[in-house]
Amino acid sequence: MTVWLVGAGPGDPGLITARGLDLVRRCEVLVYDRLVAEELVGEAPADAILIPRDVHEQAEINELLVRLAQQGYDVVRLKGGDPFVFGRGGEEVLALAEAGIEFEVVPGVSSISAVPASAGIPVTHRGVSSQVTIASGHDPAALDYDALARASGTLVFFMGFGGLAEIAAGLIDHGRDPETPAAVVASGTTDDQRMVTATLAEIADASAELEPPALVVIGEVVALASLLDARAPAALPFEATMQRAAANSKSIRQNVLFARAFTR
């Protein structure tokens, strides 16, 4: 009787780990999140018990995992992204540990880097961003805007799309440059992926037509998307990228020049 907390990855079913897929294929019970790809749920054995997470509150899920394990089932708790990155995996593990249930956490590819990468945005880049700050935007009023506005490097907001206007305003009010490049990537890593880029001051309005799930990325690295996004190589004009790059980072300018030389 073991419970495995498995990270399903950021959306593309092909991005689950080999270990995670193997466990899904031989589990007796699969408890899965709403955003987990249907293809991964379909990898469970034909006789496996399938339980969608959305019909239960978190406390019910914690209790359910304990009860299923106590009944002798091998359970896979399949969670979007990584179980320990805004996945409430810690709460579930604590419940299992308190009940004396054997468990294992199988890390997954997190959206924090995978979704921006799929849109051509490296969350770190030498000379541009050596720090990444992640935050939950679920409750914009609870954010420490002073600390976030002063944080160097890249900001990544999970669950921040619905409150993006408030988040952007809070950052600007506390000193973040309103011209900072920003991006919203919706349905990242999937065939339905869409990205909108704009300045921090304009990103909420510019991305209003997108639909969740969506990740918000704020920082100078967003300027590289026009060069590195294989899905939309002409997303931004070279001159616009270079002007922004020249004003903010010699390193970005060097990369733009290098890329330009090889794309003529």
C-alpha span between 209 and 54 (Å, rounded): 25
Residue 164 has pLDDT above 50, yes or no: yes
pLDDT at residue 246 in the model: 44
DSSP β-bridge partners for residue 191: none
Give per-residue pLDDT as tens, 58-114: 999 999 999 999 999 999 999 999 999 999 999 999 999 999 999 999 999 999 999
Q: Are 76 and 48 in contact (CB under 8 A)?
A: no
Cβ–Cβ contacts within 10 Å for residue 97, how many?
A: 11
Tokens in use for 141? 């009023």
DSSP the chain: -EEEEEE-BSS-GGGS-HHHHHHHHT-SEEEE-TTS-HHHHTTS-TT-EEEEGGGS-HHHHHHHHHHHHHTT--EEEEESB-TTSSS-HHHHHHHHHHTT-EEEEE----HHHHHHHHTT--S-BTTTBS-EEEEE-SSGGGS-HHHHHH--SEEEEET-STTHHHHHHHHHHTT--TTSEEEEEESTTSTT-EEEEEETTTHHHHTTT--SSEEEEESGGGGGHHHH-TT-TTSS-HHHHHHHHHHH-HHHHHHHHHHHHT--
Angle at 226 between CA 221 and CA 228, to 5 degrees: 75
Map out the domains of the chain with their CATH numbers: 2-106 (3.40.1010.10), 111-261 (3.30.950.10)
pLDDT at residue 248 in the model: 55
Residue 186 has pLDDT above 70, yes or no: yes
Give per-residue pLDDT as tens, 237-260: 444 444 454 455 444 444 444 444
C-alpha span between 61 and 131 (Å, rounded): 35
pTM: 0.86
